[in-house]
Amino acid sequence: MCGIFGYLGYQEAQPLIIDGLTSLAYRGYDSAGIAVLSRGGALGVRKAAGKIDNLIEAATKSPLSGRLGIGHTRWATHGEPSEVNAHPHLDGTGSIVVVHNGILENYGELKARLIANGHVFSSVTDTEVIPHLIQEFVAEGLSFAEAVRIAAGQLRGAHAIACLHADHPEEMVTFRVGNAGGVAIGHGQGGMFIASDMPALTPHTTSVTPLEPGELAIITPERYDVMTLDGKSVDANRVTIAVNATSAAKGGYKHFMLKEVMEQPEVAMSVLRGRLSFEPGEVALDLPFTDQEIKDLNRVIFIGMGTSSHACQIGAQVIERLARIAASAENSAEFRYRDPVVDKHTLVVAVAQSGETADTLEAMDRAHRSGARTITITNTEGSQAYRRAEGAILIHAGQEVGVASSKTFVNSIIAMQLLAIRLARTRGTLSTAAATEYIEALSHLPALLGEALNINGNSFQRLAVKYARSRRFLFIGRGLLEPIAREGALKLKEISYIHAEGMSAAELKHGPIALVDRETPVIALAPLNDLYEKMLSNIAQVRARDGQVIGITSVGNHEFTGLVDDVLLIPEAPLLLEPMVATIPVQLLAYHLADLLGNDVDQPRNLAKSVVVE
Ligand code: AGP
């Protein structure tokens, strides 16, 4: 959840590290800090609680000069987000400095041991234990890198860590234990970089060496050596990463999230581009399986967290409908611990826009160990999910800066539909004519998304004013729109801090209807589809209890106005495309409510873009 950036070379380190942290701020933004080793051999540290701007202010007032440094942007796990708890953390001698991403599970035990040995701590973080531990091994006579390696072996949990020693001005040591987010070495012209994520490296280099779990790198301005935590040398290759062409600028919008919602028609084209084949009824999607292996599949399990898990719920429904394989969607964190029955005839599809979500990576490992086949649907080429899966379907949504996912959700669903067609065609469960019709419909999806963005004029701003004082919302939908109800509720919670629940409209009467009153608006997803009549019954049940209903229906449904309190429209769309089209109004409603309430829409409180801790 935290971002790490480091530099060692021939330029001033501070500005490079600050820029790197700024591009990693989506990973955590409750405090930040940097440490730079001066030419005279003194470690200087600047830290600030709050957003990265506070660190920039502190470091501008009192700059650090030197060519070696590390920085960190934090999402607090142990200890409140304060200056003293912000990273980097030093050992007691002030010569070893560490930045850390992860949770040190045995920190209590290690800290007690270190205190007994005379160490004094200034923060309440688990991280501060690490430089003290390294210092014990240095004091025993080990080289700095060796001390780091031995200390790494004593850390329980999952970690990505970088460290410096004031007596080693030409050396930076970084390592990974388990899945707490990645760390990659960037091979620049004027020196070497390390970063938690690729977007922080691409301004400097596209030549990178990502570390695998259990690897440690010793980096100098000119070279790098990678070894396992057992001390065995590793031949770690450089790979070339693509520079993301999508500019991370707001493009005139007030927030990145609004920009990212508005660009969905365009990014939908990107995920479809090159995949809608000219062959009748075919999609061009490379999968790492033979046709026979696809025919032999008897189960598909989608795994993901948060918004990606909502996309998974749609993916499972679409696969069952088209490819006629039993399919389900599971929360990765539960999947990994519940001893699932999977085998070589099970396809596990890991969905993660970041490709770094710890629970999803662990669930992928769990699937591998059971012999399941795996692919990932991700926005991040080169991410850990991308590297671990047998194959990947990149969703090409461009960088998503807003912490609340929007365009990556819609593009993940589109990717799942391409996957469903591909599996269905190979298994012979979708005729050429039906597939051709479906593909034709998909090619019109960007236009439908564009219509969905414009069709309601300024209704969202009006509804935001009308409902801004509501402290609870319910979202209801059926079939493919039930996950959209859940996603709408999640979006609202994340950015407006208003409590919301999303559910099957059918579930409402089994308990949640007790919440319905005049102060609890119900958002009902009710386009003109085969479940429309059912939705009308549920809407009537809400209104009979004095509930207010904001109904989302298809353009042209004139009867709806009299049946609900407020109407939002979506263009008519084929059933399988309704989830993408119906996502737009729930995103915009959440956005305008949050904006009206004056919230930090792009970096909502307590959240982070990549959740790399359990
Ligand atoms: C989305 O708005 C959330 N910020 C969050 O639920 C997110 O979808 C989840 O953490 C999974 O992330 P991933 O897609 O990168 O795995």
For residue 494, the ligand 1 atom closest to its alpha carbon is 2
State the sign of the Cα–Cα–Cα–Cα dihedral 531, 533, 538, 542. positive
Q: What's the gap in Å between 331 CA and the centre of ligand 1?
A: 12
Q: In the prediction, which pLDDT does 313 show?
A: 98
Please indicate, yes or no, if residue 612 is contained in any of the structural domains. Answer: no
Assigned domain for 368 exists: yes
Question: Who's near 102: CB < 8 A, 6+ residues apart?
Answer: 157, 158, 159, 160, 161, 177, 178, 180, 181, 612, 613
pTM over 0.95: no
Query: Could you give the residue numbers annotated as active site?
Result: 2, 609
Alpha-carbon torsion, ordered 67, 72, 78, 84, to 10 deg: 60
| CA 128 – ligand 1 centroid, Å | 28
Mark whether 177 and 326 lie in a shared domain.
no
Ligand 1, atom 13, residue with closest C-alpha: 352
pLDDT of residue 246: 41
C-alpha span between 231 and 10 (Å, rounded): 29
Residue 601 lies in a domain: no
**Domain C-terminal end among 382, 413, 446:** 446
Helix (H) or strand (E) holding 492: helix 482-496
> Which of these, 387, 338, 395, lies nearest to 176 by C-alpha position?
387
Phi, psi of 143 (to 5 degrees): -65, 165
Task: Classify residue 63 as exposed, middle or buried by CB count within 10 Å of its CB (0-12, 13-18, 19+).
Answer: middle
Q: Would residue 603 count as lying in a domain?
A: no
Q: Using CA positions, which residue lies closest to atom 9 of ligand 1?
A: 306
Atom of ligand 1 nearest to the CA of 403: 4
Let me know the angle formed at the C-alpha of 527 by 526 and 532, rounded to the nearest 5 degrees.
Answer: 60
On whether both 425 and 527 belong to a single domain, the answer is no
605, part of any domain: no
**In which domain, by residue range, is 152 found?**
3-252
Hey, whose CA ends up nearest to atom 5 of ligand 1?
306
| Whether 497 contacts 593, CB under 8 Å | no
Distance CA 247, CA 254 (A): 16
Please name every residue paired with 102 in a beta bridge, in sequence order, or none if there are none: 159
| Domain co-membership, 49 together with 192 | yes
Note the pLDDT of residue 79: 81
Say how far apart CA 117 and CA 356 lie, in whole Å.
37
Q: Which of 207, 228, 252 is the last residue of a domain?
A: 252
- The reply to whether 357 and 465 lie within a common domain is no
Domain boundary among 232, 252, 272: 252
Please check whether residue 216 is in contact with residue 148, taking contact to mean a CB–CB distance below 8 angstroms.
Answer: yes
Ligand 1 centre from 307 Cα, in Å?
5
Confirm whether 604 is domain-assigned. Answer: no
Residues contacting 204, CB < 8 A, separation 6+: 16, 186, 188, 189, 193
CATH number of the domain that residue 336 is part of = 3.40.50.10490
Distance CA 18, CA 25 (A): 10
In a domain, 610, yes or no: no
Nearest atom within ligand 1 for CA of residue 306: 6
Nearest Cα to Cα of residue 366 among 386, 343, 394: 343
Report the C-alpha gap between 468 and 324 in whole angstroms: 44
Q: What three-state secondary structure class fits 545?
A: coil
Report the domain count for the chain.
Answer: 3
Rounded distance between C-alpha atoms, residue 451 and residue 449, angstroms: 5
If asked whether residues 289 and 228 sit together in one domain, one would say: no
Interacting residues of 275 by C-beta distance below 8 A, sequence separation 6+: 283, 284, 285, 418
3-state class of 444 per DSSP?
A: coil
Instruction: Indicate whether 327 and 395 sit together in one domain.
Output: yes
One domain, residues 79 and 216 = yes
* Coil/strand/helix, residue 69: strand
Shared domain for 276 and 237, answered yes or no, is no
Residue found by looking up tokens 């995103």 in the block: 587
Residue nearest to atom 2 of ligand 1 (CA): 404
Alpha carbons within 13 angstroms on the beta-carbon side of residue 126 total 19
Ligand 1: nearest atom to the Cα of 378: 14
Q: Choose among 344, 352, 369, 338: nearest CA to 303.
A: 352
Q: Say yes or no: 265 and 233 in one domain.
A: no
532 closest CA partner among 578, 484, 478: 478
Same domain for 285 and 243, yes or no, is no
Our mutation pick for probing the ligand 1 site, out of 332, 353, 605, counting the most ligand atoms within 8 A of Cβ, is 353
Q: Which among 611, 612, 614 is the best mutation to test ligand 1's pocket, defined by most ligand atoms within 8 Å of the CB? A: 611
Residue 121: other Cβ atoms inside 10 A: 14
Ligand 1: atom nearest CA of 357 is 16
Are 54 and 48 a contacting pair, CB within 8 Å? yes
Rg (alpha carbons) of the chain, rounded to whole number: 25
* Best of 197, 198, 261, 307 for a ligand 1 pocket test (most atoms within 8 Å of beta carbon): 307
493 and 591 both lie in a single domain:
yes
Q: In this structure, is residue 609 part of a structural domain?
A: no
**Spatial separation of the C-alpha atoms in residues 284 and 422, rounded to whole Å:** 8
Is the domain of 432 the same as that of 552?
Answer: no
Residue spans of the chain under pLDDT 50: 245-247
Q: Residue 150's domain is classified under what CATH number? A: 3.60.20.10
Q: Return the closest-CA partner of residue 258 out of 501, 495, 582.
A: 495
Using CB distances shorter than 6 Å, the residues near ligand 1 are 304-308, 352-354, 357, 360, 403-405, 494, 607, 610-611
